[in-house]
Structure formats: structure tokens, C-alpha cells
Structure 1
Amino acid sequence: MMAAKAIRPARLLSRTAHIVPGQLRVTELTFEVPLNHSNLSAGSLKLFGRQVTKHETPIVPRTNSEQDEYNRKPYLVYLEGGPGFGNKEPQDHNLTKTALDKGYTLLLLDYRGTGLSTPINQPHLATLGGPQEQADYLKHFRADSIVRDAEAVRLCLTADYPETHKKWSIFGQSYGGFVALTYLSQFPQGLREVFLTGGLAPVKRTAEEVYTALYKKVVQRNEAYYRKFPEDVERVRKVARYLKENPTSLPGGGELTVERLLGMGLCLGMNGGLDLIHSTILKMAMDIEQFGFITRAAGASFEGSVPFDTAPIYAILHESIYVNGSAHGASNWAAYRVGKKLAAESEPGLSWLSSAVVNDDEALSSADTTNDKPLYFSGEMVYPAHFSCYPELKDMRQTAEILAAYDQWPELYDLDQLARNEVPVYAASYVEDMYVDADFARETARAVKGTKVFETNVMYHGALRAKTEEVLGQLFKLRDDTLD
């Protein structure tokens, strides 16, 4: 069981507001929080967030007290996916309209290390010292630290609110749902309600168990891809053969290896992902056919498909999100180990993983490109080879090795607290989710007392973006309607 933790309120550094067309008032906020909430002398970080309310011009001007009351609407805090992504601008965010229509003040708070909240980047890490110092710094960027930040911000922003408005609601998409369950474990007293979309984290499972389940869905999505685009069996192999024989640089400075190419499978689990991959493969294959090389335009298009350079924290901390305390041990490149075993035993489409060595300094480049079998794309998995072909990751390789071997991670989830949870939880869960196994999601829903779930097999992980009104309608129906 996690011990109760006292949190010092964040220090508000700045607050500036502007009006956005569409009747939005956006207030940009910066806060200071400790790097380590348990050791205030270890330094500090800057957090950034956007507070969003409706911009209204009342017919009868409000008195000061009426304006104060109007401004104190309860907060709904959006927790973004990742790990590693900052928030969109409010006018482009899928949650903005519904949140404001429902009477909330929306807070889009960038997690530490992402967006504009002291984002992780290689040049800054290099100023901290060697790989060990960098790893020690990055240990403070998991969900346990994120929720301490959020609670510190809550205490700051609601300091003069009436007691009825001091608690806030949170909305977690994907990894944001993982963060929300950590929040429920550590600071349930700060929460009014929790909404989750594709975020019922596998709270009882190890990294090996998670990846064993997720590879099955990755294989299914590859099969769906090649059913839709059977002509791409040869095209993917053509591009892979070219890359094995011709070192290819990308416009952003990295190397396009077979492993990096197949990592584009990260998109397979999203609406439109099959078509995005097909379009990219088609362009590369036709470049090779027409010119004998891959053009800058194709390379630039490809680079945006997997964001490890622009969000390196996604790659370097990804496996750690599945390690719930020291009892789970080290992640030790779990995705690579599970994938390699699967390739050797039953999945020839993953043959490019089967003969590689974790500590190779070079990319794997072991794919058999000589036969007519389809090469399978990987999914959300991060491999050691990725730290050889992405410019932003190359100098983080030793740091990544230290984190992969680290076996003293603190707990993220308090299963006892979740079992006696009293905060309402409303979740959308997707049977065909490639990133959060549906069976593990059901297990978690049973483990968190009071969870109501809308489950569907006709949506994918990105349904909040692709089918916004339907998803949000179902979630708020869980909250507001009577189940009888």
C-alpha cells in the first residue's frame, strides 16, 4: 500500500489571457514544481498549461462577486496520451466544446517533460552529466511524479475556491488513463470524477505479460493491412531490400533502417492508420522504381509517422510505464525479448527480430527480404535498435540501457486503494485496441470499484479524435443516465 504523501502547492509564475475566435478565453499559466516532490532541494521544473473558459459579453455587466462566482466553475483536467506528448491548442482540442458546454473550466496541462513543461531533449540532458545522471533525472518523469505535479497545481488554482469546488475532474486518454489510475491511487481526495478513453491500464500485469498480449493484436492488424493491400507484401519487401543494401539518410538527419521502417506500425491501431502506411510505402516503392532512390519528399513524409525525435521521452520511458514497483523488477527491453521469442516460435513475419542481439551498436537489419512472405510491422514497441537510427535518441543509448536495467521503480498503482475506490469512474474501452489489451482492460475495470464501462468493437484507440461526439456522448450518459 502506498503511504500518504503531503504535497506543497505549485507556485504560480505567470498568468496571461487572450481571446480565441470561437468565443474562447484562453489563459496561459506557468508553474514551478519540485523535480522531486520528496526532496525539495533537488531542483525545480516549470510546468505549462492552458485554462479554457467561454468568452461571454453579458447583456448586464456582472458585479465583482458575480464575476468571481462565474470564474470558479469546477475544473476538468485533460491528461494526454503518450507518454511524451503535449496538448493541442484549445481551439483544436476534441474535448473543448463538450467540457465548456457541460459547465467546466477546462485545463490542458502539459506533463513534465512534454509540450512546454520543461520538455525532455538530448541537448538539455547532456548538460546534466553522463548517462547515469541523465537516467537519475528521467526517473522523475513517470506517472507518480506527474500526478504529484497535478495535485500541486490543483492546490494552487483552487486555494480560494469554496470547498464544493476544490476537487476537480480528470479526463485521461490512452496513457492519460494510466496517469488517472495513478492519481486515483495516490490522491483520490482531490478528485470528483474520472473519465477514461482507451486508458484502463493493465494495473495487475508485468511488462512481459502486456507485450505478449499486445503482439497478438499487432499481428492481427498486420493481417488486416495485407488483406486490404495485398500488393504491399512485395512493396514492403522491395523497400526493405533497398534499405539493407543502401544506407539511407532522412531529411531530419537520421537513418532509415529496416527496423525504423517497420516501426511505422505504430500507426496500425489508429483510424486511418492502414491507409497512412500504404501511402508511405507506395511512395517509397515508386521512388525506388522510378529513380533508384528514396526522395526527400518521401523521407520527410515518413519522419512524421513515429515521433521519437520530437518526443524522445516516449521512447526512453515507454517500457517503464508497465513496471508497477520493484516487485516487477527491471523491464529489460521486454518488448524486444517477447517479440524475438515470438518470431522464433510462431511468427515468421517478425523474423527481423529473431536473430538480433540486444546490445548491438548497429541497427538489427536482420530481416529476411528474399522470400515472398509478408514482413510484419511492429506496434508501440520500442527496441534497442531505435537508439541507433533516430538522431535525438543516439546519444541517449547508454541512458536507455541504464533505465531498462533499473529494478527499483516505485509503485504506480495501489490495488487496495483502487479496490475501495469511491470516486466515480466512467470509461470507454475498445475491443480492437492495439495499445491496451481488452481483456486486461476488463480486469482493471473489475479491480477499480465503481467503474462503469462503455465497451465497443467498432472503434479504435483514437476514437476520441475520430468519433468525438459518439464517445463523449456515451461517457456522459454513463455519468448522467440511469442504469436499470
Structure 2
Amino acid sequence: MTPATLTYRVHGCTVHEHTLHLPLDRSDSASELIPVFAREIIADGGENRPYLVFLQGGPGSPSPRQGDPTSGWIGRALKEYRVLLLDQRGTGRSHRLDELTLSGLGSDAERADYLTHFRADAIVADAEDFRAALGSGPWFALGQSYGGFCLTTYLSRAPEGLAGVYITGGLPGVGVSVDDIYRRTYAQTIRRNRVYLERFPDAELIREIARHLEASDERLPTGERLSARRFRTLGMNLGTTTGFDALHFLLEDPFVTVRGRRRLSIPFLVRAADQLSFADRPLYALMHETIYAGATPALAGIPTAWAADRIRSEFDGMAEDDSPDGEQFYLTGEHIYPWQFDEDPALIPLKGTAELLAAKTDWSPLYDEAVLAENDVPVAAAVYAEDMFVPTEYSLALADMLGARVWLTNEYQHDGLRASSGEVLGRLIDLAKQ
């Protein structure tokens, strides 16, 4: 299998843009073929360096499009590797899926079935096909967040393809129910809310905006009404290194007065809309809970059943119907709710599909605990002590199972790979060499 390749030079690097056409359904010899894309970057003098394949966080996000590849974590990686940025299937140039492209399928049932071929097991198979097509022996892999989940599947299904693994904020809870995962993430989200409100005096302002949205018809630039419950999902910012500042600046001076009536300002609504819309990555909303579905044989037959929505009421201040006048009132985090498929124009056409995915019980397993327990692939992992998205205790448990070398740190949040300008990856590369 030979990829179609386009080559060019930029910033002192050679770039090969590769496309393979791979089976949608690997269990069907007559399956349609879909394009899967990867961008290979080689620094001058690095032609004989080993490969490092990168798997992005998400699900539903393409690999980075970075103007100057010699900066940031990619620049750090290029000092020792030739880097392959894989667009996971369904994202970027790898057969991107959204409301438009999925509309070509005739029913919600067809769409839901189609999406079963876009989980970590298929992504790993695509990576192995690229490894073979590029003539590489076992290669190195870096996984950020969900990319680390995919690498855990890689270690379960094709460890012979891996020479070494780096994982940043992405060691999943193996054998842990989706309900328990969300119990941990809600608890950590509450902690991050409290830390934020200790730093910035925004508690009353958050409540004030929520009260206003409950009583007023405020419209986002895309035309839909902004609800208080959707406004609260801006708490996603609380889980990133730069998110506190970004959220504070988003919230500053949100109101204007027009003819004696208080309104949310256009700049506030525009900035909020940019963060609240899933138009750019609808697979994140559609597939987010599926990454936990039936992940091990012990979890087979259990639907996710909108776990984040079910579990939130267990936490004071997190429930959907909590009043902004109540004793506790928090922003939510990395949680997807069924009502978002009623309110986000990019998701409304996909609501029926999302409901079927939430009810689905016959998922294929992603992790093999017996194989992971016998792992002999070197693994170095950054585990963030205050991670709002991936529970730290579960990450440490998997690290112990894998025999991984761990850097446990509170210097960075979940986005440390990107935010550290290469420091996090550099620490892991050094750790792996010890």
C-alpha cells in the first residue's frame, strides 16, 4: 500500500502530506474506503531519525496545523524524531464527519452504525497501516488526552508496532465505569471552580449572567437563544493552563444598557458563541461518552445513557436546575448533555443519532487488561495532579499496571503539552532515557 504524497519545504523542514484509502469497516472485505491523512515533518538533518506519530486529544479534533513546526512541542520532537501528525478518521482531512457529511446517510440508525467505525480501535488500525506504508519498524507514539486513550488501545491490540510511548494527560481509567469517571470529573470541576473564584472575584457576576439568561431572550450570532445552562458549560476553560485568564477576560464587562434595558453585549455574545458552538468539532459532542462505552469486556452490555447528565445531580451546585441564587452554583466542565442537541444549531440535526449512541450496548472492547498487565513497551507519562478531564487516581493506577515512568505535576493543567512550549515533552523524553 503506497500513500499518495505531496511534498514541500517550509521553515527549514521537509513536509510530506500522505493520504491512504483505508476500509471504513475492517470486518467487511467489501467495505467502502475512506481517505486517512497524515502530515510528516522532517527537520533538516533528521531524515534518518525514527518516527514519532502523534494522536490528538478529543475525540473529534484533527492534528495541529502549526505554521512554524520548529516551535512548541513539535519543534522539541523534531530534535529527535521525524513527526507524523495523523488526522484521526472523521477529523481534518481524514473523511471529516459533521452534520453536512453525515446527512448523506439516510437515517439516524445508519449514522449511529457508521460512527461505530470511528473509535480508538479503528484509529489504531489506521496508524498501523501508515506504519507499514511508510516502511517503518516499531515507532514511537505521543498521545495527548484522548490520544493517550488511543495509545492504551494500541498497547492492547498492536504493541509490536510500538518502540516507545509518551502520554500527556491521557491515561484512562481502565475497567472503570463511565459513571464513576464522571463522579471524579465533577468533583474535580468543583475544586477548579473554587480555585478560580479564589483568584478572581467573579462569583456574583457568573450568577448575575445566569439570572439574566433565565429571564431574558439573548441571541448568539448564530441566531439561537443562549440559555443559562449552556452558558455554564464555559467552565471547560477551568481545566486548561491558560483557561482561568481566558474565562476572566471573557466575563469582563458583559453587560450594556440599551433604552434603559440591561442586555448582554455583542462582544460578549460573539466570544461566548465561539467557545460554545460544536460546529467545528461535532464528533466531540457525538462521540465523547462512547470512548468509555464497553471499553473492557467487564463493561460490555452497559449503555452510557447520558452519564454526565445523570450523574451531575449528585453534586450540590452542579445540577441543571440549581438556582443562581442558591448557596452553591458552579460552571460545568468536560460534560456533554442531551439538551445541547436541542440548542446548538450544529448538533440539532444529529440529536437522534446521539440518542442511539447513548443507548447502544454492543460496543467492541478497546482495552485488554491482561495484555496491558504484561506490557513491555517503554511508557513515559505526564499525569496532571489537578486534571479536570482525566481523573488522576485512575491515571496513576494504569501507569502502575503498564510499568510506566510517571511525571506527576501540578505545574500544568490538562493542556500542558501545548502550553509548555515543549517542556512537558522534553521532560518525558528525558524520563524515558533514564
Q: Secondary structure at the match of 2:7?
A: strand
Structure 2 counterpart of 1:162: none
1:144-201 CA distances to partner (integer Å, 9 max, x unpaired)? 111111111111111xxxxxx5111100011110001101111111111000111111
Q: Secondary structure at the match of 1:41?
A: coil
Contact 2:119–2:291, Cα closer than 8 Å, also in 1: yes
Structure 2 counterpart of 1:115: 92
- 1:255 shift after superposition: 3.3
In structure 1, C-alpha distance between the alignment counterparts of 2:211 and 2:55, rounded to whole Å: 41
Structure 1 counterpart of 2:36: 47
The correspondence of residues 169-184 of structure 1 with structure 2, limited to 5 A, is 169-184=140-155
Structure 1 counterpart of 2:269: 299
CA separation of 1:192/1:257 partners in 2, compared to 1, >3 Å: closer, same or farther? Answer: same
In structure 2, C-alpha distance between the alignment counterparts of 1:174 and 1:291, rounded to whole Å: 44
Query: Could you tell which deviates more after superposition, 107-116 or 373-382?
Result: 373-382
1:250-280 CA distances to partner (integer Å, 9 max, x unpaired)? 1134432112110111110101212222222
Structure 2 counterpart of 1:399: 353
TM-score (norm 2): 0.94
Identity among equivalent positions (%) equals 36
The yes-or-no answer on 1:17 pairing with 2:35 is no
Structure 2 counterpart of 1:462: 415
Structure 1 counterpart of 2:306: 333
The yes-or-no answer on 1:87 pairing with 2:63 is yes
Structure 2 counterpart of 1:167: 138
Paired letter, 1:422: D
CA separation of 1:405/1:473 partners in 2, compared to 1, >3 Å: closer, same or farther? Answer: same
Q: Secondary structure at the match of 1:379?
A: coil
Paired letter, 2:180: E
CA separation of 1:24/1:291 partners in 2, compared to 1, >3 Å: closer, same or farther? Answer: farther
- 1:421 shift after superposition: 0.9
CA separation of 1:236/1:37 partners in 2, compared to 1, >3 Å: closer, same or farther? Answer: same
The yes-or-no answer on 1:125 pairing with 2:114 is no
Structure 2 counterpart of 1:36: 25
The yes-or-no answer on 1:96 pairing with 2:74 is yes
Contact 2:55–2:142, Cα closer than 8 Å, also in 1: yes
Q: Secondary structure at the match of 1:42?
A: coil
In structure 2, C-alpha distance between the alignment counterparts of 1:227 and 1:187, rounded to whole Å: 46
Q: Secondary structure at the match of 1:350?
A: coil
Residue 54 of structure 2: which of 72, 78, 87 is its match? Answer: 78
Contact 2:25–2:32, Cα closer than 8 Å, also in 1: yes
In structure 2, C-alpha distance between the alignment counterparts of 1:309 and 1:372, rounded to whole Å: 33
Contact 1:121–1:312, Cα closer than 8 Å, also in 2: yes
In structure 1, C-alpha distance between the alignment counterparts of 2:283 and 2:29, rounded to whole Å: 23
In structure 1, C-alpha distance between the alignment counterparts of 2:43 and 2:164, rounded to whole Å: 22
Structure 1 counterpart of 2:173: 202
Q: Secondary structure at the match of 1:51?
A: strand
Paired letter, 1:453: V
Query: Could you tell which deviates more after superposition, 241-250 or 106-115?
Result: 241-250
Structure 2 counterpart of 1:66: none
The correspondence of residues 271-350 of structure 1 with structure 2, limited to 5 A, is 271-286=241-256, 292-306=262-276, 308-323=278-293, 324-325=295-296, 327-328=298-299, 329-340=302-313, 342-343=314-315, 347=316, 349-350=317-318
The yes-or-no answer on 1:139 pairing with 2:123 is no
Contact 1:195–1:475, Cα closer than 8 Å, also in 2: yes
In structure 1, C-alpha distance between the alignment counterparts of 2:248 and 2:47, rounded to whole Å: 48
1:389-413 CA distances to partner (integer Å, 9 max, x unpaired)? 1111011111101000001111110
In structure 1, C-alpha distance between the alignment counterparts of 2:17 and 2:259, rounded to whole Å: 50
Structure 2 counterpart of 1:438: 392
In structure 2, C-alpha distance between the alignment counterparts of 1:267 and 1:338, rounded to whole Å: 21
Paired letter, 2:214: K
Contact 2:255–2:262, Cα closer than 8 Å, also in 1: no
- 1:78 shift after superposition: 0.7
In structure 2, C-alpha distance between the alignment counterparts of 1:478 and 1:171, rounded to whole Å: 14
Q: Secondary structure at the match of 2:72?
A: coil
Q: Secondary structure at the match of 2:252?
A: helix
Residue 216 of structure 1: which of 187, 191, 213 is its match? Answer: 187
In structure 2, C-alpha distance between the alignment counterparts of 1:38 and 1:254, rounded to whole Å: 42
Paired letter, 2:404: T
In structure 1, C-alpha distance between the alignment counterparts of 2:41 and 2:82, rounded to whole Å: 6
- 1:387 shift after superposition: 0.8
In structure 2, C-alpha distance between the alignment counterparts of 1:309 and 1:441, rounded to whole Å: 31
CA separation of 1:132/1:181 partners in 2, compared to 1, >3 Å: closer, same or farther? Answer: same
CA separation of 1:374/1:224 partners in 2, compared to 1, >3 Å: closer, same or farther? Answer: same
The yes-or-no answer on 1:480 pairing with 2:433 is yes
1:227-264 CA distances to partner (integer Å, 9 max, x unpaired)? 2223x222112211222222322113443211211011
- 1:326 shift after superposition: 5.9
Paired letter, 1:332: A
CA separation of 1:194/1:290 partners in 2, compared to 1, >3 Å: closer, same or farther? Answer: farther
Contact 2:296–2:368, Cα closer than 8 Å, also in 1: no
**Structure 2: tracts of 5 or more residues without a match:** none
Paired letter, 2:366: L
The correspondence of residues 145-160 of structure 1 with structure 2, limited to 5 A, is 145-158=122-135
Contact 1:429–1:455, Cα closer than 8 Å, also in 2: yes
CA separation of 1:378/1:287 partners in 2, compared to 1, >3 Å: closer, same or farther? Answer: farther
Residue 387 of structure 1: which of 317, 341, 350 is its match? Answer: 341
- 1:297 shift after superposition: 2.2
Q: Secondary structure at the match of 1:479?
A: helix
In structure 1, C-alpha distance between the alignment counterparts of 2:374 and 2:54, rounded to whole Å: 24
1:50-99 CA distances to partner (integer Å, 9 max, x unpaired)? 1001246xxxxxxxxxxxxx745321001110111112224256332222
CA separation of 1:397/1:334 partners in 2, compared to 1, >3 Å: closer, same or farther? Answer: same
Q: Secondary structure at the match of 1:169?
A: strand
TM-score (norm 1): 0.84
In structure 2, C-alpha distance between the alignment counterparts of 1:188 and 1:350, rounded to whole Å: 40
